[in-house]
Amino acid sequence: MVKQKLPKTNEYWKKKLTSEQYAVLREKGTEAAFTGKYWDTKEKGMFHCAACGTQLFSSDAKFDSGTGWPSFDHALPGTVKLEDDTSCGMHRTEAICAHCGGHLGHVFLDGPKPSGLRFCINSCSLDLKKKKK
């Protein structure tokens, strides 16, 4: 279960995040495909929001979508909020951290079964906490 939404100022986020993270998480930007640190990682662990640290995705949900961004077939329950996004002349579903409101990426209906979902997430919005061996 996610705690109550985290209200912070733009100044707070500018100090806490890198410029790339701020552009994606706070200004709804997108990193270039095949450039993020997690797009092809096979490491096991939990993916957390890079802004607030909330656990979002298990590495068990990650799959190779061929798109150049980390893709997951489901999020941990209650951690990712979905909203309509009509920016860029398209209609998409935006994925947002339910705790801090950070933009993570988008969700598409072309993922693997059983969910059929593809959470297409920017690497810079994530922080992987590797599973201890």
Helix, strand, coil percent content, the chain, rounded in steps of 5: 15, 30, 55
49, 52, 97, 120: the active-site residue:
120
CB contact burial 53-80 (16+ within 10 A = b; e otherwise): ebebbbbebbeebeebbbbbbbbbeebb
Full strand arrangement of the beta sheet holding 62-63 = 62-63, 71-72, 118-121, 103-108, 92-97, 80-85
Q: Is 49 a catalytic residue?
A: no
**Hey, which residues are catalytic here?**
120
